[in-house]
Structure 1
Amino acid sequence: MSDARDEAFDVAVVGAGAAGLATALALSRDGIRTALVGRHAPVADGRTVALLDGSVRLLKALGCWEAIAPSAAPLAELHLIDDTGSLFRPPPARFVASEIGLDAFGWNVESARLIEALRERARAVPGLALIEQDAAGATAGPEAASVALQGGGMVCARLMVAADGARSPLREAAGIPVKRWDYPQAALTTILAHARDHREISTEFHTRKGPFTLVPLPGGRRSSLVWVTGEAQAERLRDLDDPALARAVERQAQALLGRMAIDGPRGVVPMRGLLATRPVGPRLALVGESAHVFPPIGAQGLNLGLRDAAFLRDLVVEARHHGQDPGSDALLARFARSRGFDARLRTAAVDALNRSLLSGLLPADLLRGAGLLALATIAPLRRVVMREGILPRFGTPRLMQA
């Protein structure tokens, strides 16, 4: 690790969250002169993230997974249960990772542990410059870009990467428009202890107010909860005492895991979406939530951001091999085509699922129910959907490949 503000870098990554850390580590492992700009702020306890198989392969390549694995639980099966009360109610759908040759679809880990492991690794990498200050602004010129620091000074690089979140100052400074939308919902999150073993099964109940999801944590009898419901109800649930909230969760879960107890802090996450109209600007690439924000449904958000990081690494390494400019319009155009398509596809899928639950219209129920029934009964279709849900078949970044 170094802190060299007077050097000229190939890439300056702005934002020290999970997507920014992963991007900086992916680039620096291949000898790309990289600076990571941003304060290492505290991470809220109690949130978890389901890291899909491709993301775990990336973390292994970055040298982080060994530190994360003891705190992660495998997701060997996914069960979807229709609890909407619809007239057309399909039977539960069961997805098993071994059917597509995997031990697990992914691993669930507390966000704080993931960030801690990425930071530990970043501090141990000799060629990565960590500049723990917030960016005050950025400008792009014909040959390079400059990031101004709030504490004074400047970082110059041929390519800037905005990993600075949903309100990205770099994206705003570049004038990149975004599409934003809100849902009439919020997600209650917490950690649960329960009487029965989860058996490495993630269970998602589809209700009229949104998905209610129990995701395994290590130990067999702990799970994370993401309960999507109306905004007022989410706030009411958050304000219950622990025993009352545990009883409410147990009822909603149909006593699937037996008696419940609250075993961690709780939070309420607004249900919002954001999509940049293009994930690039002059000498600028957007990764993670600067480019796309998902509601906490379907484990798409961070996994998509990690694919951004891995794909950008491939392009920059290739450009160096051919003696090309890593901030060139041609490189950024390739990044925009691939990442823009992936983000739009995932956004549409998550949005369609959530809105179909909220609509209550019989045609929407029929389509959703028929889709679940087809997945449950048509094995080839189920396997294709499982593979695409984990990692796209085409354009898979090298560090995510088997």
Structure 2
Amino acid sequence: MESTASNTAQGAATYVHDVAIVGAGPAGLALALALKAAPGVDLDVTVIERGQGEPSDDPRGWAIAEGPRRVLEAVGVWADVAGQSGVAEKMVISDTPLRDAVRPSLLNLGGEEDSDEPLAWIVPAGALHKALHSAAKATAIAIGGGTTVTGFDATGASATLDTASGEQVRARLVVAADGVGSPLRHMAGIKCVEWDYGQTGIVTTVAHEFPHEGRAFQHFLPGGPFALLPLPGNRSSVVWSEETPRARRLLDLDDFSFLGELGLRAGPELGEFELDGPRGGFPLGLMLARSFAAQRIALLGDAAHKVHPLAGQGLNLGLKDVAALAETIVDTVRLGMDPGSLTQLTRYERWRRFDVFQMAMATDGLNRLFRPDFGPLRAIRDIGMGLVERTGPLKRGLLREAAGITGTPPKLVTGLPL
């Protein structure tokens, strides 16, 4: 619907958008595209981003499961990133000390005859950023860059955002998609539960001597899990968790020494390695907002939750947030109701909260279980993984959960239009 004009106390006209999204990361832009593509409604959507243009040199690779992949397809960006993405057909999981020369696989996921879908698509972060920004431009979504939000007021029939540039933005609904630290979440007075794991996630891309054949490798090591995720060609994305002091030393190494440490953890399956992209480090922790919505504001993606990357579920959770919030907003507007009303936003919170909490507790528990380098505990872990390996229904349940299609998924996750 069209923006409506109102008068400020000074008499100047201020436009009221339907939805203002603060943050132009993957979740924020995917939501904007989903709302603009919804049939039967004409929503005025604006995006506010503190940076200038699309991010560059992001060394991460995201493991996108089938349900969230459908969200990217629905918003029109999947075709642009599919050719640059790897396909993880199988995952080989081991649990051994770093000094062990041989790492026998204890659990193998994927490759089931009754499944046509891979475990995940490994999407380079830069490719996804570029595709989302290009789609936003093609859809004429306004992205206001180079300013920060300095104030939030939710009183009245619309919320008001103050910006560092001196401009005000008003909207019936504000969406906080501004990351884990989310200044907007703090301005809205929404508390969170969080703790630091004392670990840093090291990410980069490597080329390797032997083909991965669609296999992802995850080694549970004393410093944290080490994963190699397949990209096109003889290349893999690295997600490597280490105790933070050691991670800092590793990131400061020259390329030759860094690759030596990486090869020690990777094992012999893929041969020799070369760096094929920049390195980066990200602090690891858990964060859960105490509520995902308040009057005239909803939290999205990393602004609502942060989980350990060992299961590759961070962006998957964010894209399921996108699907649920888009459906909530569109259904509300179709009924002629206020999309910023807490009564309506409560549906979104109920929809997402249990799924996020369940994944946060699962990843937190696995990280705590697999970190200790203690022989008897390792034996118990290995017995547990062996039982999963030999129990077909349990393995299938894990795969359905990883695909993001359990419970009552939103329409976009199932491939249906809004």
Cα–Cα, structure 1 residues 290 and 298, in superposed 2: closer, same or farther, change >3 Å?
A: same
Query: What are the residue-to-residue correspondences of 1:3-402 with 2, within 5 Å?
Result: 6-30=14-38, 31-41=42-52, 42-84=55-97, 91-99=105-113, 101-126=115-140, 128-132=141-145, 133-219=147-233, 221-360=234-373, 364-365=377-378, 367-402=380-415
Q: How far is 1:346 from its partner? A: 0.7
Letter in 1 for 2:304: A
| Structure-2 separation of matches of 1:262 and 1:78 | 22
SS at match of 1:186: strand
SS at match of 2:83: helix
Letter in 1 for 2:179: G
Q: How far is 1:90 from its partner? A: 8.3
Q: How far is 1:81 from its partner? A: 1.0
Task: Report if the CA contact (8 A) 2:92-2:105 is conserved.
Answer: no
SS at match of 1:323: coil
SS at match of 1:8: strand
Q: How far is 1:3 from its partner? A: 11
Cα–Cα, structure 1 residues 47 and 177, in superposed 2: closer, same or farther, change >3 Å?
A: same
Q: How far is 1:367 from its partner? A: 4.9
Task: Report if the CA contact (8 A) 1:90-1:369 is conserved.
Answer: no
> What is the identity percentage for the equivalent residue pairs of Structure 1 and Structure 2?
36
| Structure-2 separation of matches of 1:99 and 1:185 | 37
Select between 360-369 and 9-18 the one with higher mean Cα deviation.
Answer: 360-369
SS at match of 2:20: strand
| Structure-2 separation of matches of 1:371 and 1:280 | 38
Select between 324-333 and 98-107 the one with higher mean Cα deviation.
Answer: 98-107
Select between 250-259 and 232-241 the one with higher mean Cα deviation.
Answer: 232-241
| Structure-1 separation of matches of 2:324 and 2:386 | 35
Q: How far is 1:214 from its partner? A: 0.4
Cα–Cα, structure 1 residues 3 and 142, in superposed 2: closer, same or farther, change >3 Å?
A: closer
Q: How far is 1:97 from its partner? A: 5.0
Q: How far is 1:366 from its partner? A: 5.2
| Structure-1 separation of matches of 2:144 and 2:248 | 38
Letter in 2 for 1:83: T
Structure 2, gaps ≥5 residues long: 5-12
TM-score between the two structures when normalised by the length of structure 1: 0.93
RMSD: 2.3
TM-score between the two structures when normalised by the length of structure 2: 0.89
| Structure-1 separation of matches of 2:326 and 2:112 | 30
Deviations 1:313-367 (A, max 9, x none): 1111111221111111222111111211111111001100100112345675455
Q: How far is 1:91 from its partner? A: 4.8
Aligned residues: 397
| Structure-2 separation of matches of 1:161 and 1:45 | 24
SS at match of 1:359: coil
